[in-house]
Amino acid sequence: MFADPGYRRLWSARTVSQWGDTFNFVALALLIYDLTGSGLGVSGVVVAEILPVLLLAPFAGPLVDRWPRVRVMVGSDLFRLVLAVVLAVWHDAPVGVYAVAFGMSVGAVFFNPAASSIIPALVEKDALVAANSGIWTAAVLSQIALAPLAGLLVVSLGYGPAFALNAVSYAISALLLRGLQVPGNPEKVQRRNLLAEAREGVAVLMRHRLLRALAIGQCLAALSAGATSALLVVLAKEHLGVSGRGYGLLIGAIGVGAALGPLVLLRLIRNPARPLFVFGPYGLRGVVDLAIASVASVPFAAGALALYGIGTSTGAVTFNSMLQGETPEHVCGRVFALMDVLWQGGRLLSLAVGGILADVYGIEAVYYLGGALLLAAAAAGLASNRGAATV
């Protein structure tokens, strides 16, 4: 994969940007907690990041399909570069921080579908899993390695340098992407109004049996993971009886599993771009949720969550690869944007319902329901594909 100069340039840009994102994520969470002193204030950042996806993605998708995708990515990086500089200089008011978080997400609404749509033009279809694995692994390893360093930087030098590093990462990413040459001649989109073009993306998604199954799985997984990921700290305290280091151990276990997942795919499994390896990981994650809600053991939970991390990473890589391989090129931006809407909308609903469910029935109920939703996603995906031909 890395012998291809186009993929190498894209991978480098995405990886450098991920380095900056890691510093930004850690610094932003610590900053808003310092400014507001509440978990609700931290949740506000999550809401500020989700809202642009729900509001703008239906329109961003058609625009990504209209415009040159490399220019969309460069423009998004430059837009976020300006916002990161603002945050590095001025970060004393919660309202301003929320506004910048909202703006950063606006940039990502355009960047992410464009970046995912470009990969099939850079590599052959049978190399999509390897290409996505390379980008995913670099992102996970960046988080594992740099998150502690980001926390140390904030404590030692303050928030400004962390946000400044994020700005630098966007500048480097934009420079790398500017020289990216995408082969082929994409189909020209018949320009109508944006709503009509957005409806065309929905129609493609609904008519194609496998894409429809992927959308259903995405929605059910978001309804599960939104609550279970956010409330893992509650499970650690109330069900497992640990906090601090114990919670860190659980997070670390997921990270280790997520880093190992792509290696499992590429080294041990032949032809991983099959429905079994897209929908099967949902089932694995569902079993883990049910198990850790039933067994109050920290070592058991850590081992199970490592498997959860493997399921998350292998599922994400094969999901994106199959989506890229099956989606018609001229609607890639719209389909990826719709998947983002399903994910973020389900995540937001899950966060709201999960918090209520945990307070009324206990944290175990959240994980039992989350596990059931993931098992339903696996069953629905595998059943819909059984004996199906691509439409």
- The answer on 313 and 373 residing in a single domain is yes
Same domain, 227 and 364: yes
Residue 189 located in a structural domain:
no
143 and 68 housed in the same domain: yes
Structural contact between residues 81 and 170, judged by C-beta atoms closer than 8 angstroms: yes
- Same domain flag for 109 and 240: no
- Same domain? For 69 and 22 the reply is yes
Query: Are 36 and 155 part of one and the same domain?
Result: yes
In a domain, 135, yes or no: yes
Same domain (yes/no): 27, 125: yes
Q: Tally the domains of the chain.
A: 2
Instruction: Give pTM, 2 decimals.
Output: 0.90
**Domain presence at residue 186:** no
Same-domain check for residues 130 and 267: no
Q: Could you report the per-residue pLDDT of 322-378, keeping only the tens digit for each?
A: 999 999 998 999 999 999 999 999 999 998 899 899 989 999 999 999 999 999 999
User: Do residues 245 and 373 share a domain?
Assistant: yes
> Given 150, 179, 208, which residue is the final one in a domain?
179
In a domain? residue 192: no
Asked whether residue 212 is domain-assigned, the answer is: yes
Which CATH number is 65's domain given?
1.20.1250.20
With tokens 């409806």, the residue in question is 199
Domain interval for residue 337: 197-385
Tell me the pLDDT of the chain (391 aa) as tens digits.
677 899 999 999 999 999 999 899 889 988 988 898 876 677 788 889 999 999 999 999 999 999 999 999 999 999 999 999 999 999 999 999 999 999 999 999 999 999 999 999 999 988 999 999 999 999 998 888 888 888 889 889 999 999 999 999 999 999 999 999 988 655 555 566 888 898 999 999 999 999 999 999 999 999 999 999 888 988 998 999 987 678 878 988 999 999 999 988 877 666 666 888 999 999 999 999 999 999 999 999 999 999 999 999 999 999 999 999 999 998 999 999 999 999 999 999 998 899 899 989 999 999 999 999 999 999 999 987 765 544 3
